[in-house]
Structure 1
Amino acid sequence: MAAKRYEERYSTMFSYAGWFLLVSAVLRIVFWIWSGADIPFHVTHFLGVLCTGAFMDLGVLVFFCLPFSLYLAVFPSKWNGSLADKMLVHTGFVAVMLIQILTFFAEITFWEEFKSRFNFIAVDYLIYTYEVVHNINESYPIPLLLTGVALLVWLFWWLFQKAGIFAATFQGKASVVKKWSILVLNVILVAFFSVFINNTTAEWSANRYENEIGKAGIYSFFAAFRSNELNFRQFYETMPNEKAFRMVQHSFLQPIEKQAPNFSVRRNVIDSIAPIKNNVILICVESLSADVLGHFGNTDHNTPKLDSIIDQNLWFSNLFATGTRTVRGMEALSLSIPPTPGRSILKRKDNEHLFTVGSVFKQLGYTNTFLYGGDGYFDNMDYFFSNNGFTIVDRNRGLASSNDFETNHYSITDDEVTFENAWGVCDEDLFNKTISYTDTYVKTHTAPFFHFIMTTSNHRPYTYPEGTVAIPSGTGRKGAVAYTDYAIGEFLKEAQTKPWYANTTIVIVADHCASSAGRWELNIANYRIPAIVINAPGGQKGEINKMCSQIDLFPSLFALQHFSYETNLYGHNVFDPHAPERAFVGNYRKLGYLTPHKLTVLDEQGTANAYIWDRSSNTLHPTKTDTTSVAKAIANYQTADYLYHHNGLKE
């Protein structure tokens, strides 16, 4: 009888635990099926995922059960079933169920977008509530979803009520010893999972999808929250700093300055030809994967403008993004540096007065401007660019637009906007602002200019002005790609009518691909992006097929312009036949060093993995690591991390 009463007092907690484990397992199976051919079915792997998932779910469960086990331990037994007891139990149950069901829905939408459990992206998005809330509202039927969540919470409350689970909780009793035994066990399990179990515990498979499905969403979220910045020397394989810097310095084609410290990449680039000081406009296009363009094999014909200008200009067909987020693309393009683990430097502290590509332009007498269709507060863009020598133009509603060029920051005003969504104004409005801004600039300035433009339209909810392209607004990424292509075409058409166009080079490149997910720890094909140089200095045209990295784009452009300059950038001039073919690709944990046929990956477990890359089938075949590739990977990533932490990236 005592055992029965003991179980009854804890019936709500135990029943909730069973419900959570069951629903989590069902969601895991849904993700498995959803992944389709990316997970070849093997019974042992399937069971391994379920068992790993149950273990990770237990880690979540003990945290959620801790408040209830504490409550049951300290609440006096004589008050069991009182009004206070009922109110606290029912309120706690509804609150926990609401959190869990909302989390399950959020996991489904996150998986749809990123093919991953919650990660650092989810953590970052919590900071920018305006953009994220509006994006969700524009992408999904929120009233319907919230109604559904409320109904599910009520349904499960009703089922627990109907089954007599609450009644048993209020009528049951447990001895002090049993209550405190459960609490102590709960605390021990919480401590065990907090100290000894990392999110990487679930990563036992070579298939990334199996590892992600085996994780638990809430556990993954808090793991990402804790590891938003990773200490390279603590988590990754390293070498002596002297050796690392020697290797990186040796890879450069210019000598390191003798007066520079040993731990430096600062050097001078000398060109014997007079510089061509073309204006430069960089259009960094949101999520423009290479495989959406016809020149990269796409047959949807959604990018007629871009495909038509490729043949008439200089373009890179074998260029790879360094990361999977906009801030990583901006970091690579502006700082020309391999991606350091954890969050992007754009979002870190002490990122002011860094040596950027803008520093090179400034040496040559240029004026730098960053133009963005959204509020530059998002992802710390405004702070980074304004503190690194750029004037800011964005959708900051708190500012009045100004054309006096004495202020460092002004806004795209309401009367300049024809369409906007959660992420900002449509690309046409951003490009129109660029045209008017440039027109005003050239009337009052003789110095050449560098514009860094960041677009937003090719992003969920994929909305744009109706009637611009054949695909209806808000129906998916294909329509957004077609609209972005249309907007770029309209911008080029208008720019060609301007007197400043003749001596202006326009560079079009993606920040990252639309999706980086895949079965491999780094899915290489999903890092390949296009880059097009219009009005290239010297009239250069044609395809550049040499494998290169996003960080090489501006050093190569500087070479076309015959710039002589002091540099602290990691990028190479790809037009030099001696420049190595390599690319840096990564996410916030995995750091890849890619050569034409091989990928070396460093991970935060202090290990290195190697793969042969079969480009024809886009598959990676595990192989033995070679010391040369591993050493080059470590040297580049370690020195980049060292320079950031020791102010070596400063101007």
Structure 2
Amino acid sequence: MRLFQQQKLLYAAYKPYQTLLIGYVLGLVILSLSRGFLFIWHWDRVSAAGNVIELLALGLRADVIQMGYLTLPILLMAPLLTHKFGQNLWLKIQVSWLVLALSFLIFMEAATPAFILQYDLRPNRLFIEYLNHPQEVFSTLWGGFKFWVIASTLILALSVVLLIKVARHLHARQKSKTFSFRAALILWPLLVVLEIVGIRSTLAHRPANPAFFAVTSDALVNDLIINSAYSVEYAVYNLRHEADAAAIYGEMPIDEMLAQVRAQPYLASKQFPNPNYPTLHFNQASVMTQKPKNIVVILEESLGATFVESLGGIPVTPNLEQLKSEGWWFTHLYATGTRSVRGIEAVISSFMPTPARSTVKLSLSQQNFYTAASLLAEQGYFTEFLYGGETHFDNMQSFFSGNGFQSTLGIESIKNPEFVGSWGASDGDLFQLAHQRFSELAETDSPFFSLVFTSSNHEPFEFPNGTIEPYNQPLQSVENAVKYADYALGKFIQQAKQSNYWEDTIFLIVADHDTRVYGDELVPIDKFHIPGLILGHSLAPRIVDSITSQIDLMPTVISLAGVSSLTPALGQDLSSAEAPPANRAMMQFGSNYAWLTDNTSVILTPNGAITGYYDFAEKRFVRGQQVEQSAVEKARAHALLPSWLYRNRAYDTGCPSAVEITQSGC
């Protein structure tokens, strides 16, 4: 009899929370099934990374955290609504929650395969950022991931219909019966405690977070362990910390950071006269000219070493291959990140990467933040940005106009374009505009600086028909898009050689990043390898074999153009004979940071530093080699300093325009 009474009391206590608890269990089932599918899809990488049963158990643990986040806010309302006057509202809240919360989980999981195909990671901060550009994103998805778009839509629609039916059934079933307020209160504290314990997931000082589940050396597998809703939610939470690398890699006093960075051989002899701008130093031009050269930067969308035969890729860039013998060709050049705005940041501002969003998009860098344009504008250059699409995309126009670019021209400036795709006018149309502008500017007395940013090599890979012989099928493939981009570039350079600006201009041709960055490593270094070429009428050909970063390019080009400058840029002027090449590069991949040299390398993660070396022949990072602690501290200093410079608004020349700039300052 007593056992029967206890069971009756337990059931009475359970009834008020029935829908919430059913939803909780359904959520765990949905997330586990999705993870199972993703594990099977990437079975070779998952099985190679560790014990699959243990990984699945960790995944369930992450799902318990996610379901705790979703259910705890509703559960906390129970004491206010489970009395007899609020029971009807309480039931409606629960069934509404069941439909909305589980639909959200299903949507995030359904969107995951396409995101993984593009970024080799679960949805993260990029997923949130791209919501600001629905037209471009939908065009990309429809062009490159049509199957997944349709499948995801059908899965979500069917799931919502089923969830609504389940919710109506549960509501009708519970509405027909009353439940005990007293019984509800008896069970409530226990449920709250269990939820909090599940959310913390550990008795350690800090609760579990995505880094807690990073138990393998494969970044994708680590991401598959958690779920996409959790990944995105944690990214939103981290937005308030995103400008502070110290929160990920640990604290270091600013004096120590500066000492480590300034100790680099190419900076060791420099003077740093302004404590408000602690990286500001004078760089003497390596070339003396009567009039500074014009500078044109051609930033090629997603043109990684993957597509350059002499760099170990496939033969779809014949024009670039031909041009490489005419200028300075970089054989070991590495991008700092995996997005266009990170490439812009590195090339145009020579700014080292951080775990935060690119400074192109951050609030404190929209004015008084160093760019090559702001430096050259102070030197009397006319500065301009040319793009085939909408210049406001990724906040580019705001960043450029606030930091030295006197003109920004987008698709509206291209009259009667030959071809317009999802991302704007074709590269051929963009280069026609560029040639027209350069011809006009060459007739003026001032030198000019122009950034030309291409877009044809971007999903969905649209370009004019009949311009190239396809490398493969279907026509709208990345290989064919790269081949068209190379065709348009080659045609422009031929045109430029016959122009009135060729002899007075230095061209930098470089990729913003490779196409889809993926690999079973914490940082897939090989996918950061990009081509780079400095070209000009008076420039003697040269092969640069040392390891080089995107941040080194503009200091070198500015020096070759004959401009001595007061600059905060920490990239090396490779044209200077004062010091040997730095032979290092830095890469940010999510929350992991790679410091690459020719003999030892360091990867910084939220869990600590991993040391080893990069095998250039096998194109893999080999962990385990012991390195001096000083190498780890050097890597940490370079990873931490840019965040400090951003937060303290200390990355600029400190000089207003149109003033005399000397070695000691403005």
C-alpha distance 285-65 of structure 1, shift in aligned 2 (>3 A): same
Structure 2 match to 1:52: 58
Structure 2 match to 1:201: 212
C-alpha distance 309-23 of structure 1, shift in aligned 2 (>3 A): same
Structure 2 match to 1:633: 635
TM-score, normalization by structure 2: 0.86
Amino acid across the alignment from 2:157: A
Q: CA deviation at 1:166?
A: 5.4
Contact kept? 1:466, 1:473, Cα under 8 Å: no
Alignment counterpart, residue 582 of structure 2, candidates 580, 589, 593: 580
Amino acid across the alignment from 1:225: V
Contact kept? 2:243, 2:647, Cα under 8 Å: no
Structure 2 match to 1:298: 313
* Root-mean-square deviation over aligned CA pairs: 3.1
1:152 and 1:35 mapped to 2: Cα distance?
25
Give runs of aligned pairs for residues 71-86 of structure 1, distance below 5 A: 74-75=80-81
Q: Secondary structure at the match of 1:416?
A: coil
Alignment counterpart, residue 251 of structure 1, candidates 242, 264, 275: 264
Structure 1 match to 2:153: 146
Structure 2 stretches lacking a partner, 5+ long? 1-7, 201-205, 654-666
Structure 2 match to 1:242: 255
1:25 and 1:611 mapped to 2: Cα distance?
35
Q: CA deviation at 1:57?
A: 0.9
Alignment counterpart, residue 117 of structure 1, candidates 119, 122, 133: 122
Structure 1 match to 2:509: 508
Structure 2 match to 1:645: 647
Tell me if 1:453 matches 2:452.
yes
Q: CA deviation at 1:50?
A: 0.9
Q: Secondary structure at the match of 1:345?
A: coil
Q: CA deviation at 1:528?
A: 0.8
Contact kept? 2:513, 2:528, Cα under 8 Å: yes
Q: Secondary structure at the match of 1:451?
A: strand
Contact kept? 1:49, 1:213, Cα under 8 Å: no
2:434 and 2:340 mapped to 1: Cα distance?
20
C-alpha distance 49-178 of structure 1, shift in aligned 2 (>3 A): farther
Q: CA deviation at 1:507?
A: 1.6
Tell me if 1:215 matches 2:226.
yes
Q: CA deviation at 1:298?
A: 2.5
Give runs of aligned pairs for residues 238-637 of structure 1, distance below 5 A: 238-253=251-266, 255-257=269-271, 259-261=273-275, 264-271=278-285, 273-275=287-289, 277-299=292-314, 301-351=315-365, 352-395=367-410, 411-412=412-413, 415-443=415-443, 445-469=444-468, 470=470, 475-535=476-536, 538-575=538-575, 576=577, 578-605=580-607, 607-623=608-624, 624-637=626-639
Amino acid across the alignment from 1:503: D
Contact kept? 1:290, 1:530, Cα under 8 Å: yes
Tell me if 1:13 matches 2:26.
no
**Which shows bigger deviation, 320-329 or 232-241?**
232-241
Q: CA deviation at 1:176?
A: 2.4
1:181 and 1:307 mapped to 2: Cα distance?
75
Amino acid across the alignment from 2:346: A
Q: Secondary structure at the match of 2:558?
A: helix
1:144 and 1:234 mapped to 2: Cα distance?
39
Q: CA deviation at 1:156?
A: 4.9
**Which shows bigger deviation, 483-492 or 319-328?**
483-492
Q: CA deviation at 1:323?
A: 1.1
2:619 and 2:525 mapped to 1: Cα distance?
8
Amino acid across the alignment from 1:371: L
C-alpha distance 183-124 of structure 1, shift in aligned 2 (>3 A): farther
Q: CA deviation at 1:454?
A: 1.4
2:265 and 2:565 mapped to 1: Cα distance?
15
C-alpha distance 153-568 of structure 1, shift in aligned 2 (>3 A): same
C-alpha distance 81-354 of structure 1, shift in aligned 2 (>3 A): closer
C-alpha distance 368-166 of structure 1, shift in aligned 2 (>3 A): same
Amino acid across the alignment from 1:107: T
TM-score, normalization by structure 1: 0.87
Q: Secondary structure at the match of 2:450?
A: strand
2:126 and 2:621 mapped to 1: Cα distance?
26
Contact kept? 1:597, 1:614, Cα under 8 Å: no
Q: Percent identity?
A: 25
C-alpha distance 419-176 of structure 1, shift in aligned 2 (>3 A): farther
Structure 1 stretches lacking a partner, 5+ long? 397-410
1:272 and 1:99 mapped to 2: Cα distance?
58
Q: CA deviation at 1:78?
A: 5.8
Amino acid across the alignment from 2:336: T
2:139 and 2:225 mapped to 1: Cα distance?
31
Contact kept? 1:227, 1:342, Cα under 8 Å: no
Q: CA deviation at 1:489?
A: 2.3
Give runs of aligned pairs for residues 35-114 of structure 1, distance below 5 A: 35-41=42-48, 45-66=51-72, 69=75, 74-75=80-81, 91-114=96-119
2:511 and 2:94 mapped to 1: Cα distance?
52
Contact kept? 2:601, 2:613, Cα under 8 Å: yes
